[in-house]
Amino acid sequence: MNCHQVLSGACNSGDQCFAVGSVEGIPFTAYAAGCNIVILASNFERVQIIPGAIHGYIRISSLDCSTDTGKIAAAYGAEVCIFEPTPLIHTASTTHGLEYRWVQTGKLVADGPITALSWNLEGTRLLTGGRILQLWHQASLYQDDSQPSSGVTFQIGGDKDEKPKQADDEEPLYYTFIYVAHPRAVTHLSWRKTSKYMPK
């Protein structure tokens, strides 16, 4: 039996306190219950509870899961803690197949209290929203500018190209915006591929 209470508690109020993610194609649900994070398998069997005691019993205001990497980001006021799944080595087989434990691998401190979080589609960048929007990504492991940080390179070319174009993943990102009127305050963030009908 786990060393946690039997009932894990109700989800915090608001649309930003629960999310669905997946690890290697296995879906899971995570939700904030007070200051704790509860992780459930697709059959709603409890997999893990991450206690809020280690974060000073601060109520979680927002939570999001990556649908690709299984990372969980949780906002405790102005701090965001990142949890990543690690495979369990010696376990009895479970009915849900989600044989992972989430461990904290990072912490971000934003410029103010956070009310919305959103992972990008690949789980490599995190958008935080509160008084201001902030975009976070993992810092480069290498200091040498001649070598890409992850070693990932993209070759772009077509049938008629004599020499393919090459770009590494460290190209700077530039964002623009289009003002869209809303009938009320924006309370949610999400990443999507741009529609072909969206003006460029």
How many domains would you assign to the chain? 1
Using the 8-state DSSP alphabet, how is residue 113 labeled? -
CA distance 29 to 67: 10
| Residue 166 forms part of a structural domain | no
pLDDT tens per residue across all 200 residues of the chain = 455 445 578 899 888 999 999 999 999 999 999 999 999 999 989 999 999 988 889 999 999 999 999 999 999 999 999 999 999 887 666 666 788 999 999 999 988 999 999 998 888 999 998 888 888 887 654 444 444 444 333 333 334 444 444 444 556 667 677 777 778 777 777 777 777 776 65
What's the CATH number where 51 sits? 2.130.10.10
Give the torsion through C-alpha atoms of 178, 183, 187, 189, to 10 deg. Answer: -30
Q: Domain of 124?
A: 7-137+175-200
| Residue 148 forms part of a structural domain | no
| Residue 164 forms part of a structural domain | no
Res 176: pLDDT:
72
Q: Which residues have a Cβ under 8 Å from the Cβ of 90 and sit 6 or more positions away? A: none
| Residue 56 forms part of a structural domain | yes
Res 186: pLDDT:
73
Res 180: pLDDT:
75
| Residue 170 forms part of a structural domain | no
The single residue listed with the structure tokens 């009915």 is 95
3 state DSSP class of 89: coil
CA distance 191 to 82: 18
Instruction: List the beta bridge partners of residue 16.
Output: none
User: Quick check: 19 and 30 in contact, CB under 8 A?
Assistant: yes
Residue 32's H or E segment, with its range, is strand 26-33
Confidence (pTM): 0.74
Res 158: pLDDT:
39
